[in-house]
């Protein structure tokens, strides 16, 4: 029955958005970050797709849509963590070749050329990237058509007034599974979509938060087969309480030094920069929008639910003796942890050589009444934007849409294959878990406006969890609400100026 459910889900809904591949360090440039490059579609040599298109949701882009002779210029952040925008040629690696085919297919179908221009834009370089984009819109004939930048730059460039509303272009299909549903439900600005991400960004898939588990350890310690854990997910019962229950009884002082150290065995390993998904995974927000499209501080931030979540999380992280938060991935890779909470790129970058079997699970629900599994993204992924100075905005918008669709049918399966060493189309439990994680990615507008909110969109909750501050959490409410309220007012005033 579960297999039938999965097949139906993929065919009818085709799911949402996925992880992994080449390198996960959010500040390390890849070999592709060279000078401007044109990826040309070799005449008559492009494979249509590697995936069976009938397995996926269909695109409504007309097959005869053409922009013959048009060059679409993409200005991108070239210090991104994982290969995403272009590759020189096919080399036999799944993700590399899928990106090559995607670009070639877009060029061939539309009769266009894609030209990529790179400039630094990672977290430390965000301001420089924004300046380059703003200046580029004033460069006349040399202006780029598409900006592809670090996730936080989307909101900043929108407030600068140099991006267009993608929702106004007829070829954009934001109701399709290659775009996250929360892009429309939570991340719109006055009914407009000024920046977008999803399958189009390999780094979006890499940066999804998930929960990895050691299958053999689960059997040895709890007598639970992996299928039983997957069944909890299928049945909607993979909750925070169940997660905590399975972390119990795992700790062992393996190095016999009578202290909790990196050489011991733990129920959970996670570092403080990765506490955020517990908040998002509990269906909690930082900002929300009212009926007029204006943002306000979500009552979630200091709700009883958040206080309860913090209490449970702090007890697990600091009091249970089952967690280690100073180091994580090396401990899990050494077969010394049952659970690891981290980004979906980790299997490909750090676990490809491990000798034990591991699986991937969604971030647990707050409770069984929660309607679905949610997760957030680490910040090192790409937002795609249509420049206000695009020479042919119809061609540029259609290019964004077709790149997203071709990524969905070609690149996403390759990422799953490279990370999990399985074929996505084989309908395994792991593929279903991958889908559930992807389907539940939440784009909280508060996280996108992190720069304008002085990082408080994540630091308030993260710091409380890191310092075991559940008991004093509400004491900060008045001060933070006042400070955040002023900053949110400033954001709203700026956004009112959008056309």
Condensed to tens digits (0 to 9), the pLDDT of residues 57-94 reads 999 999 999 999 999 999 999 999 999 999 999 999 99
Q: Which residues contact 322 (CB under 8 A, 6 or more apart)?
A: 247, 248, 249, 250, 251, 266, 267, 268, 316
- Considering the domain 20-205+380-425 in this protein, what is its CATH number? 3.40.190.10
The structure tokens listed for 440 are: 């539940």
The structure tokens listed for 27 are: 């500040």
The percent of residues above 90 in pLDDT, for the chain, comes to 79
List residues bridging with 252 in a β-sheet.
Answer: 265
Please provide residue 117's backbone torsions phi and psi, each rounded to the nearest 5 degrees.
-120, 120
- CA 271 – CA 329 distance, rounded (Å): 9
- Residue 270 burial class via C-beta count within 10 angstroms: exposed 0-12, middle 13-18, buried 19 and up: buried
Tell me: the pLDDT tens digits for 302-321?
Answer: 999 999 999 999 999 999 99
Range(s) within the chain of domains with CATH label 3.40.190.10? 20-205+380-425, 209-376+446-495
Residue of 360, 357, 356, 320 lying closest to 340 (CA atoms): 360
- CA 487 – CA 454 distance, rounded (Å): 9
Q: Determine the pLDDT at residue 319.
A: 97
Residue of 156, 96, 145 lying closest to 123 (CA atoms): 156
pLDDT at 477 over 60: yes
- Pair 153, 126: CB distance under 8 Å: yes
SS3 424: helix
pLDDT at 499 over 70: no
Residue of 69, 166, 49, 56 lying closest to 110 (CA atoms): 69
- Considering the domain 209-376+446-495 in this protein, what is its CATH number? 3.40.190.10
pLDDT at 394 over 90: yes
Task: Quote the strand ranges of 387-472, DSSP E.
Answer: none
> How many of the other CB atoms lie within 10 Å of CB of 254?
13
Residue of 340, 333, 339 lying closest to 356 (CA atoms): 333
The percent of residues above 70 in pLDDT, for the chain, comes to 88
pLDDT at 7 over 50: no
Residue of 108, 122, 6 lying closest to 55 (CA atoms): 6
Inter-CA distances, 226 with 216, 294, 333, 442, Å: 8, 45, 18, 27
- CA 246 – CA 237 distance, rounded (Å): 13
Please provide residue 141's backbone torsions phi and psi, each rounded to the nearest 5 degrees.
-65, -20
Q: Determine the pLDDT at residue 153.
A: 97
Q: pLDDT band at residue 182, thresholds of 50, 70 and 90?
A: confident
Inter-CA distances, 108 with 104, 114, 191, 402, 477, Å: 6, 10, 33, 11, 55
pLDDT at 177 over 90: yes
Q: What is the DSSP letter of 287?
A: E
Q: pTM for the full model?
A: 0.87
């Amino acid at each position: 029955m579960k297999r039938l459910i999965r097949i139906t889900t993929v065919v009818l809904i085709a799911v949402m958005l996925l992880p992994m591949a080449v390198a996960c360090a959010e500040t390390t440039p890849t070999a592709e970050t060279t000078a401007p490059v044109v990826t040309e579609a070799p005449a008559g040599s492009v494979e249509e797709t590697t995936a069976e298109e009938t397995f996926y949701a269909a695109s409504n882009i007309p097959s005869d849509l053409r922009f013959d002779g048009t060059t679409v210029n993409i200005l991108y952040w070239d210090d991104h963590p994982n290969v995403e925008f272009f590759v020189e040629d096919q080399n036999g690696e799944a993700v590399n070749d899928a990106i090559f085919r995607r670009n070639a297919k877009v060029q061939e179908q539309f009769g266009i050329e894609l030209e990529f221009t790179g400039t630094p834009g990672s977290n430390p370089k965000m301001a420089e990237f924004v300046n380059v984009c703003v200046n580029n819109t004033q460069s006349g004939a040399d202006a780029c058509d598409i900006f592809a930048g670090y996730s936080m730059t989307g909101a900043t460039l929108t407030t600068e007034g140099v991006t267009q509303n993608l929702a106004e272009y007829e070829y954009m299909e934001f109701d399709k599974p290659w775009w996250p549903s929360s892009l429309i439900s939570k991340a719109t600005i006055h009914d407009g979509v000024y920046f977008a991400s999803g399958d189009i960004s390999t780094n979006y898939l890499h940066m999804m938060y998930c929960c990895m588990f050691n299958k053999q350890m689960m059997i040895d310690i709890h007598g639970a087969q992996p299928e039983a854990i997957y069944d909890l997910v299928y049945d909607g019962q993979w909750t925070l309480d169940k997660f905590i229950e399975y972390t119990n009884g795992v700790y062992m002082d393996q190095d016999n030094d009578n202290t909790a150290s990196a050489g011991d065995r733990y129920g959970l390993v996670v570092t403080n920069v990765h506490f955020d998904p517990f908040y998002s995974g509990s269906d909690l927000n930082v900002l929300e929008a009212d009926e007029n499209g204006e943002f306000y501080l979500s009552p979630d931030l200091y709700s009883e639910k958040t206080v309860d979540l913090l209490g449970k999380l702090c007890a697990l992280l600091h009091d249970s003796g089952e967690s280690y938060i100073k180091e994580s991935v090396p401990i899990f890779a050494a077969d010394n942890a049952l659970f690891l909470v981290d980004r979906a790129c980790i299997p490909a970058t750090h676990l490809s050589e491990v000798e034990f079997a591991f699986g991937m699970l969604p971030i647990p629900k707050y409770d069984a009444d929660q309607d679905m599994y949610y997760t957030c993204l680490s910040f090192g992924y790409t937002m795609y934007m249509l420049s206000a100075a695009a020479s042919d905005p119809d061609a540029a918008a259609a290019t964004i849409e077709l790149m997203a669709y071709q990524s969905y049918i070609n690149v996403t399966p390759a990422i799953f294959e490279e990370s999990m060493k399985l074929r996505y189309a084989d309908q395994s439990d792991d593929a279903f878990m991958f889908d559930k994680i992807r389907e539940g990615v939440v784009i909280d507008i508060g996280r996108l406006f992190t720069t304008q909110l002085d990082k408080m969109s994540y630091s308030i909750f993260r710091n409380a969890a890191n310092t075991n501050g559940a008991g004093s959490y509400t004491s900060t409410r008045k001060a933070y609400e006042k400070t955040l309220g002023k900053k949110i007012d400033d954001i709203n005033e700026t956004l009112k100026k959008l056309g």
